[in-house]
Structure 1
């Protein structure tokens, strides 16, 4: 359903023709690549208002593509680091940073792999849990402004989200005391209490019990572990939770294998109060990522509350 086959022109050749730098560097010019990819996107493509991040009120926009400040915000990096990458003063980003840039720039898999190569990194292997969000899914997240939705990896790392998702649940929390580029993880949050989102919003109740929800997630993680037995991130997550949580350990040793199912939830938001939503999980064909969407019945009180949060979220960035 979500499969879309597209062919993107490779910007590396054009960038090399303009700068001449790629003819001297067999791996290409990382800075020129980033600038070329940044220039082909508009703020609307990534779900931003035409003038948002880093632009003074009342000032006009001169750049046709994404500004450095916008790319930095989308990738979770400092503006100074993006500047140093584009100017060639930083040439070896970490794999986490490269993956974050690929997602923010909506690169195809071929372009993402080229970015890794130019940065002196090995592209993600087929044996690793994919963290690449296909451009079509990124556009879906950017344009479905009326739905709280987010994209997760197969192992439940949070990759991207819509503005209404953040308005309902809070901005995703930066994992405390972890390596740069570490993403919030739903299963870690459930079993260790490490917050997935900042603030006081959260889930009040579910159609099923919390025990059933936890068992469902652990069974799902075991399925992912079997599919990607050599993935270091999955192995590290399992080892961490086995050491940190008796509840996780009991569920893990049970050996149950399954897939997390949709359910109904009541979310508490500090502005609008309780919001009853249906939670649906969609798989993306050709890419092992999941889309989680919260919806409310048309005309319901919950739908009105979501609409209020959507309008508030749009007003907050203007």
Structure 2
């Protein structure tokens, strides 16, 4: 049970609600945003003293029934409720460290997708594997050290002051991508709280990038939706692709596929990138 993260998460979720969101009169002006602690306790059918101790990181582990009551009161989404159980220690955590070795069968799938840019990501955004079209669309990850093949580090460079960072690979939705990175890293840290690389990465970004710290303090967690991304490529111009992230069976890795509708200008641009890559490889 991570008492301090649980306390911070509960405070953040409580402060985003208004009394009218849960059927209470708004009443007079409040000194602080959100519901009062005693209101959450009454609606969740627990004692005010116990809920206060939860938000002060002083309470013993809550039961699943108590967590269900709090989740309902705070109007948590399914993803937020799962995160609440993770922090409270009532959900199964995964192995101590993220699995970073990609199964041969997944590597074979990546290599057999000539018209699809495909990468395999670890849960902390380290790029573990990629095919030639992904290298052409994004970059040749083989030219980077393993530490620098992390998309979170690219999205939040150390020394960032909180202004808009330059999005990696010229993607058009840089702000949304950065927010998704923070959400996923928060879930990853809750699932692997003793993985030294994950802990070090989060600490590095929190202390080294003001924008990351600002987003981290929101305590947002949400699964990444299916997205459409536009890459501004220096050779072929803008390329809009569908981006599908598939969780692999072990849960620590994601197969990310970038595709374009057959016959579209974007599919032609991907095919041109593939030809340029093959031609460059043949000339080496």
- TM-score of the two chains, using structure 1 as the length reference: 0.53
1:215 pairs with 2:217: no
Residues 158 and 205, structure 2, Cα contact 8 Å, conserved in 1: no
For 2:106 and 2:202, the matched residues in 1 are separated by 28
> Structure 1 residue 202: deviation in Å?
2.0
Matched with 1:182 is 147
**Structure 1 regions of 5+ residues with no counterpart?**
1-124, 195-199
The alpha-carbon distance between structure 1 residues 193 and 264, as it changes in their structure 2 partners (threshold 3 A), is farther
Counterparts of 1:73-92 in structure 2, within 5 Å, are none
Matched with 2:103 is 134
Matched with 1:289 is 253
Return the match for 1:164 from 121, 133, 140.
133
**Structure 2 regions of 5+ residues with no counterpart?**
1-93, 160-166
1:192 pairs with 2:157: yes
The alpha-carbon distance between structure 1 residues 300 and 275, as it changes in their structure 2 partners (threshold 3 A), is same
Runs of 4 or more, structure 1, over 3 Å off, are: none
Counterparts of 1:197-276 in structure 2, within 5 Å, are 202-206=169-173, 210-276=174-240
> Structure 1 residue 174: deviation in Å?
5.0
Q: Decide which structure has greater helix share.
A: 2
1:143 pairs with 2:122: no
> Structure 1 residue 145: deviation in Å?
1.6
Higher-Rg structure is: 2
Task: Report SS of the residue matched to 2:221.
Answer: coil
The alpha-carbon distance between structure 1 residues 147 and 190, as it changes in their structure 2 partners (threshold 3 A), is same
| Residue deviations 1:207-231 (CA, integer Å, cap 9, x gap) | xxx3333222211110000000000
The alpha-carbon distance between structure 1 residues 277 and 237, as it changes in their structure 2 partners (threshold 3 A), is same
For 2:132 and 2:212, the matched residues in 1 are separated by 32
Residues 118 and 256, structure 2, Cα contact 8 Å, conserved in 1: yes
- TM-score of the two chains, using structure 2 as the length reference: 0.59
For 2:158 and 2:179, the matched residues in 1 are separated by 16
Residues 170 and 201, structure 1, Cα contact 8 Å, conserved in 2: no
> Structure 1 residue 287: deviation in Å?
4.5
The alpha-carbon distance between structure 1 residues 182 and 174, as it changes in their structure 2 partners (threshold 3 A), is farther
Return the match for 2:121 from 115, 127, 152.
152
